[in-house]
Structures are given as structure tokens and as C-alpha cells.
Amino acid sequence: MNKTENNKAWFLVLPVFLLVAFSAVIPLMTVVNYSVQDIFDQNTAYFVGAEWYREVLQDPRLHDSLIRQFIFSGCVLLIEIPLGIAVALMMPTKGKAASLSLILLAIPLLIPWNVVGTIWQVFGREDIGLFGWALNSIGIDYNYASNPGDAWFTVLLMDVWHWTSLVALLCYSGLRAIPEAYYQAARIDRASKWAIFRYIQLPKLKSVLVIGILLRFMDSFMIYTEPFVLTGGGPGNSTTFLSQTLTKMAIGQFDLGPAAAFSLIYFLIVLLVSWLFFTSISHLDKSE
Amino acid sequence: MTSMTQNTASQTAGAGSTQQPKRFVLPANAKRRVNTQRRKNIGITAYILFVLVPIYWLLNMSFKSNEEILGGLTLWPQNFTLENYQVIFSDPSWYMGYVNSMTYVSLNVIITLMVALPAAYAFSRYKFTGDKHLFFWLLTNRMAPPAVFLLPFFQLYSSVGLFDTHLAVALAHCLFNVPLAVWILEGFMSGVPREIDETAYIDGYKFHTFFLKIFLPLIRSGIGVTAFFCFMFSWVELLLARTLTSVEAKPIAAIMTRTVGATGIDWGVLAAAGVLTIIPGLLVIWFVRNHVAKGFALGRV
Amino acid sequence: MSWMAWTLPTAVFFSVIAAILVCMTVFELRSPCVERKGFLPIETTRGDRLFIGLLTSAYIHLMYVGLTDMTLWIALGISCVWLFIVMRWG
């Protein structure tokens, strides 16, 4: 679609611009200010330059949680995207069954994140939770509170439970946008199921998958509440992700300076990855 | 679940006989398709069960007394009790949490839609200086981890006197909802042909009458889907909501942490409170279910 | 505004960024630019190149701070040169 060139359109964007500037730019500037100072209270602060950045960059805690974070986000994407597509392909297409499964699938998305944590905290316990109890009674020694491997497994399972529905719903909508005529043509050609998926469904899913992957990457990279409630970052530090390290620093120890420097580094990482992803996708779109 | 299976199967058969000329339907082919359909139904049922079982467990616990919860594993409540819910509904500091959450979520949805609608229109219809960069900048706010903004938000809202008000949380949640809303709405609006705008302008409509009377009704389902997403992300967020409130506007999700008392966790009340937080979401998805099914497919979402 | 804890260096930093943005906008209005292909692997507009330059500069600074103990002015110099290269030939 051809768009007309019109700078008056800025007036329509102005409210958004002002609102986001108020709630994003001012805080961001403040974070930058904090990150170069040693702050004791409202009126006592010393300029320390890049000292906090140096401290944070050389802090092994940051390295560890950064690595954990990337592994976690990678796992989340690897599991949830294919599973979400599969669920979308299996969903009924018409009638009551379609809206019923739509509603049931959407439930996990609408549960407050700490309640999600609570649900799995209870569900995974070996004394009062069905899941932990079932695993233990079939002979698997499972305890997410003391075994790091189990804790990781539980956090991942919780995230899959929580968010695969989003991917599935997005893909479902993408699949619905494919005209029936395409499938009929494929049937006449005796196309295999894989060929239908590869050449009809997947290309149509591309745009929703982009959104799905971006949202899942960003949100899994910021995950805080659910593992905080479920495992509290433990056992040890095995499920302490970036946000949690940061929040501990900022609120728990009230180290404003290092926390602010950490925030900015965190933000830069997310910005870079998302930008790379965003540009490569829109670039692919153009070259086609 | 059986009725669901039959329903879908009969519909598939019906669709096959009406939409397709008879000679292309080979019996073997049709049988294979019915088989695939059955396998699909089993798969989706299994996944939905996986989704529902943990929720069932919470529901199950909310109807038990603490003695029963800790006494041993029972698949359904042996002594069905509503006591846990009674605790919540008889104590204003509990149920006001729901009111607070609902208030700031609704405020947030209204503010988000009001600013995002014109902006999305601008992005979908016009080219203007810096539009792409502005769009990406908006998205970067969706990317910023809330943990980054915790402290400055606290300071900012305290200094303008908004701390512990519903408006503060609503505004803070705009940070991630507005970009998403602009993004989704832009997709829906791009699906509306430009000719409609042009015809309306030729007919002498002013921009705002055209926008409110003609354009908005056209993208109803898009607005429904956007509102759903805004509700969802605002309702489930806790970190910002907890930091920006203390008493007056404290969300229910933050109040829930109170159940951890000196005597240990009050599992029953915790479960009951959790169950109650799921209900508003269920209602919302129930109201927009047709829009979501239709709306998702219409827009570029 | 005292809670924002302004200091001179950060104030200068943000003023420079704001000035660059204003200049770019004016420049863009006077002579709208077209996408072109430089040594960067994608076609870019002037604004894209500025963004890429600034983002990589930030990373240059971070690496410099993380790996060395020398003064930051050198990193700033490298970044400025890099920014110029990207804007001119990117």
C-alpha cells in the first residue's frame, strides 16, 4: 500500500510520544545519572565516572546470570515455538470446539505471574503437589527445592505451560488467514502433509512467528516473578536470572549506582539482540 | 471432549461435501483425513489437559482445609469447604486488592487505546519524518526490562505525587502496553483499504467524525484484540504494580504474599486467592472470544 | 528534579544526543535522504546509520571499560571516529 507523505501525521503520534517520553525517557535519563554516581541519599552523591560499569562488567555474578539467561531464553524459544505451531495445527478450526479450545488455551496467559509461580510451587512439591508426588511415586527422585537440575526443569516446564499458548494462538490466527482454496489446490495436486506445511502454512505463519519469537525472546529475557516465587533463584544461584540479580542489587542492597549501570548494560543487550532480529526479518521481507 | 470430537468430525465431513466437487474425494483419501483428524483431536486434548491440570490442582486446594492439604494427597476435596473464600470476602484488605487491580487495569486499557488509536492510524496511513525510527523506539520500550525502571519510576511518581495511586500503575504499564497496542492496531488498520478514507474525505467528512463514526467501527475486532492484550499484560504484571503502591492501590497479587505468616504458608487461602485472580481473565476472554478468533485472523497481529 | 541526580557529564551527554537528533531532523526536512548500500550488509538511511553508530559506540565503551583500565577519552575518540566512518561510508 502506498502511503502519502504527510508530516502533519506527527500530531496523531504526539500523544503517544509524550506519554512514552514521560514514562520512558525521564526514567532512562535518571538511570544514566545514577550509573555514574555514588549515591548516599537525596543530597549526597559523588561522581565516580565509569567505576560502576567496570565493577559490574567484571562481576562474576553478572557473567553467570547472563549465561544462564541466554541458555534459558534459547531453551524457551526452541521448545515453545515448535510446540506452539504444533498445537495451532492440531486445534479444531470451526464451531464451538474451536472457541472452547481457544478459551482454554488462553487461560495460562491471563493468570498473574506470581500466581503462575504459586501454582507450580504447589504443583511440584512432593508432599502436597500432584506433579512432584507423581514423579516421586514412579521412582524418580524429584525435588525442585534442593536439586538444581530439577529446579531448571520445573522453571522451564512452567514457562512452557505459561507461554506456549501465546505462540499457539498467534499461529492459529495465521493459519485461519489461509484461504480454503489453497488447501483444495494442494489436495488436487496430492501434496504431502509436509509439503502443505512447508509451502503453504509456514510462509503464511512467518509474520506471526516473527511477533511470537520477538515477544517470547523479550519476555523470557526479562523473566522475574515466576522463578522468584517458584524457586527464589535457588537452589544456590542456579535459577537466578538477570532481572533477579538486578532487583536484588537495587532493592535488596540498595546499591543504586551499580544497579543502574547493570540496568543499562542489560538494556543494551536486549536492544542489540532485538534490533538484529528486527532488521534481519524486515530485510528478508524486502528481498523477497 | 467426546462431543467436541464428534462436532469437529461432522463439520469436516460437511465442509468436504459442500465445498468440493465429488469426483476429487477419493474414499481412501477421506478415510485418511478422518484418521488425521482423530489424531489431531487426541493431541489437542492432551495439550489442553496439560494446561488444565495445574489449575485444577489449585482449585482443588482452595476447597480444602489446611489440615487436609498438609495431611496427605487427595485428588478431590474430602471435606468440601468454602472457608478459604470466606476469609477473602470478609476482609476488606483482601477484596479491595481485586478492586484496585481492576481499577488500574481498566484505566490502563482506556489510556492505551486513546493514545494508540490515532498513532496507529498515522503509522498505517502516512509517511513522515522519522516514522520508522519512532516505531522502533516505541518497541524498545516493550523490550526494556521493568526491573531497569523500578527505581526511577518510584522516584518519578513520588515526586509528582502519584505514588500509591491507580493512575501511577496504569501509566507505568503504558510503557509496555502502548507499543504493543500501536503495533497490533497498525496491522489491523493496514488491512482496511485506503479508498474508504479517501471516499469519506471527498464526501466532506472531517477527520475526527470520519475516524470515530466510520473507521473505528471497521476495526472493532482489532480494538477488541488490542484491549484483550492490554488487559492481559497489565493484569498479570506484578513487579511494577507492587513497587508503585503501598496501601491504597495495592494489587491483589501483591496482597497474596501476606499468606506467608509466622506459622508457615496458609495454603488454602493462597489457593483461593489465586483462583479468584483467574476469574477476571476468564470473563474477558469469554467476552472477546469471537473477536479474538476472527480478529487475530484479520489483522497482521 | 533533584531526585534525578543530574551531573555535568550526563547533562552534556544528553544535550549532545538531543542536538544530534534535532540536527538530523532539520537536515532530513531540508534534503530527504534515500536508502543506500555502503559497507554495512544492509541498505540504510541516514537515521539507521546514526543508530547503528551510536549502538556500536556504546558497545565499544563497554568493552573498553570491561577490558582495560585506561582513561575513557580514548574510547570516546575511537567511537567518534567510528561514528564518522559509519555515517560517511556505511
Whether residues C42 and C5 fall in one domain: no
Q: Which amino acid is at A96?
A: K
Residues comprising chain C, all counted: 90
Q: What's the CA dihedral at B138, B140, B145, B151 to 10 degrees?
A: -60
Q: Which of B198, B51, B179 is nearest to B115 (CA)?
A: B179
Q: Highest mean pLDDT range out of A134-148, B34-48, B106-120, B122-136?
A: B106-120
Q: Is the confidence at residue A110, as pLDDT, over 80?
A: yes
pLDDT at position A136 over 60: yes
User: What is the spatial distance between Cα B9 and Cα B249, in angstroms, rounded to a whole number?
Assistant: 50
Does the residue A220 lie in any domain?
A: yes
A95-99, A132-136, A168-172, B49-53: which is most confident: B49-53
Looking at the structure, do residues C46 and C90 belong to the same domain, yes or no? yes
- Domain presence at residue A96: yes
Of the candidates C77, C81, C82, the one whose C-alpha atom is nearest the C-alpha of residue C40 is C82
DSSP B259: G
Residues C6 and C22 both lie in one domain: yes
Nine-digit cell string for B167: 493512575
Report CA-CA distances (Å) from A43 to A125, A204, B100, B262.
48, 57, 34, 38
The percentage of residues in chain A with a pLDDT greater than 70, rounded to a whole number, is: 95
The cell numbers describing B101, all together, are 487491580
- Residue-wise pLDDT for A2-61, tens only, equals 677 777 788 888 899 888 888 888 888 888 888 888 877 666 777 777 788 888 888 888
Residue of chain C whose alpha carbon sits nearest to that of A47: C7
| Residue A3 DSSP label | P
| CATH, residue A277 | 1.10.3720.10
Give the side-chain half-sphere CA count within 13 A for C48: 20
- CA B3 to CA B26: how far, in whole Å? 27
Residue numbers in A near C44 (CB within 8 A):
none
Predicted confidence at residue B301, as pLDDT, reads: 38
Kindly state the cell numbers that stand for B31. 478415510
pLDDT of C5: 75
Plot region of A139 (φ>0 → left; ψ -120 to 50 → alpha; else → beta): left
Q: What's the structural domain count of chain C?
A: 2
Express each pLDDT in A211-233 by its tens digit: 788 888 888 888 888 888 888 77
Same domain, C56 and C79: yes
Q: E-strand spans in B144-221? A: none
Least CB–CB distance from A110: residue in B73, B138, B278: B278
C84 and C50 share one domain: yes
User: Which residues in C lie closer than 8 A to residue A57 (C-beta atoms)?
Assistant: 62, 65-66
Angle subtended by helix axes A256-287 and A26-35, to nearest 10: 130
Residue C77, judged by CB atoms within 10 A of its CB (0-12, 13-18, 19+), counts as: exposed
Which residue type, as a one-letter code, is found at position A267? F
Whether residue C39 sits in one domain with residue C71: yes
Write out chain A residues lying below 8 Å of B301, CB-based.
170, 173, 208, 211
Distance from CA of C54 to the nearest CA of B (A): 14
Q: What is the 3-state secondary structure (H, E, C) of A118-179?
A: HHHHHHCCCCCCHHHHHHHHCCCCCCCCCCHHHHHHHHHHHHHHHHHHHHHHHHHHHHHCCC
Q: Considering all CA atoms of chain A, what is the largest pairwise distance in Å, rounded to the nearest integer?
A: 78
- Give the count of beta carbons closer than 10 Å to the beta carbon of residue A203: 12
A234 in Cβ contact with A121 (< 8 Å): no
Mean pLDDT of C68-78: 84
**Is the residue at A2 inside a domain?**
no
Q: A262 or C2, which is more confident? A: A262
Angle of the A95-106 helix axis to the B267-298 helix axis, nearest 10 = 130
pLDDT number for residue C56: 92
- The beta strands (E) that lie in chain A are given as 4-5, 37-39, 45-47
Q: Domain range for residue A15?
A: 7-287
Segments forming the whole domain that contains residue C7: 1-32
* pLDDT value of residue A3: 72
Q: Are B116 and A16 in contact (CB under 8 A)?
A: yes
Distances (CA, A) of B138 to A18, B12, B135, C44: 11, 43, 5, 20
A interface test, pick of C4, C35, C67 with most A CB neighbours within 10 Å: C4
Q: Examine the domain organization and report whether C22 and C41 are in the same domain.
A: no
Pairing of strands B260-261, B264-265: antiparallel
Confidence tier at B125 by pLDDT (50, 70, 90) = confident
Average pLDDT, stretch B45-59? 90
Shortest alpha-carbon distance between residue A239 and chain B (Å): 17
Kindly state whether residues C52 and C25 are assigned to the same domain. no
